Structure 1
């Protein structure tokens, strides 16, 4: 029996100090600003974006995320709940490529770092992913993420959001300079229960 890989329209999710909402074309200037950050370029966007001319990177990053539902991805902006300004991005992708599973990716802007927003957004997205479809969720059992081993900030975010370290994938990630890095694999299960952020 094959699983559907079409993602539902991303909902708007309120969490403590942040808002997860669908990305829009109006986010392009904020994405362009974020993509000036060396860490986001190195760890979070991939070669299609880093290979584009600097003035085209935001469009190269945003366009596939605005049209990604058919590929099994729900793409969110991490936004300020009062001003609705973009502070980062989170995608739940490969939904049901493996039954009842998905993969999550995320980044936050330099100005938003150190405030717990990435962990809060990751926790909120996991709760949505695990919620039954009848309650507006995806009804998944397992959500994974990976990060290059030198990206220790991402490791802290994953752990704070209840994603347990499961192992190391050797030479898994290739950075913008073509250097291979081992990557940590983290996962959170629906059966892990609600994770108290701390």
Structure 2
């Protein structure tokens, strides 16, 4: 495959429900229906202490901000730039978290993955499962070549997720990103290539 052929193989992300056993990854947007209301689920997530610290949803603590969050998800699906999934429990449909895959350099086939989980869903391997599912999907359906995962050096749980999901550590970026805790944080960069060995996970 030539370089120009490879570039044309990078496709936009298109909405799809991903089945990961006891959980479903469902596209965020106005059409998403969650128990108790989707806007209420987003506002509840936005005030979770760990989400505020590492993945702040900013104005989504208010209903209007949560609605804007859903509108942005719809827009990103429409332009194919970001695949934003609500991680939901198959049994009752309740929100467990979020996972998103975003093109950072579509021409070069590079995307970035990120995630957050609600407190009740943590410690069960769900972030790892969702990360593997969405990155495998991106490789298969959109031609993603390299997937990058960034996390604050102090976010040790994300470091463990990266390792379990098959994202080797590649280096530390100094003063790289401002999270919800105020100052610029050093970050670890992990990455996975489409050609890396498959990750086997139990469901």
TM-score band w.r.t. shorter chain: 0.7 to 0.9
Give the Cα separation in 1 of the matches to 2:60 and 2:82: 25
Is 1:62 the counterpart of 2:70 in the alignment?
yes
Structure 2 CA distance, aligned partners of 1:72 and 1:64? 11
Per the TM alignment, residue 21 of structure 1 is displaced from its structure 2 partner at its CA by: 1.3
Shift of 1:58: 2.3
CA distance in 2, matches of 1:92, 1:82: 25
2:133 counterpart residue number: 124
Structure 1 length-normalised TM: 0.85
Runs of at least 4 residues off by over 4 Å: 1-6
Q: How big is the shift at 1:5?
A: 7.8
- 1:38 aligns with 49
Residues 184 and 98 of structure 1: CA distance in aligned 2, closer, same or farther (over 3 Å): farther
SS in 1 for 2:195: helix
Is the Cα–Cα contact under 8 Å of residues 55 and 180 in structure 2 kept in the other structure? no
1:22 and 1:75 in contact (8 A); partners too = yes
Q: SS of the residue aligned with 2:154?
A: coil
| Contact 2:150–2:189 (CA under 8 A) maintained in structure 1 | yes
Partner of 1:82: 91
> Which residue in 2 is equivalent to 1:18?
23
The structural deviation recorded for 1:54 is 3.3
Aligned to 2:179: 175
The 5-angstrom pairing of residues 100-111 of structure 1 reads 100-111=109-120
Tell me the TM-score normalised to structure 2 length: 0.83
Does the CA-based 8 Å contact 1:23-1:77 persist in structure 2?
Answer: yes
RMSD over aligned CA atoms reads: 2.2
Structure 1: gaps of 5 or more residues: 132-136
Return the offset for 1:117: 0.8
Residue-pair matches, total = 189
In structure 1, C-alpha distance between the alignment counterparts of 2:145 and 2:85, rounded to whole Å: 20
Q: Counterpart in 1 of 2:160? A: 156
Asked whether the 8 Å contact 1:144–1:188 carries over to 2, the reply is yes
- Mapped contact 2:10–2:107 kept (Cα < 8 A): no
Structure 2 unpaired stretches of 5+:
none
**Residue 115 of structure 1 pairs with residue 124 of structure 2:** yes
Distance 1:129 1:62 in 2: 21
> What do the CA deviations read for 1:154-181 (whole angstroms, capped 9, x no partner)?
1111111111111111111112342111
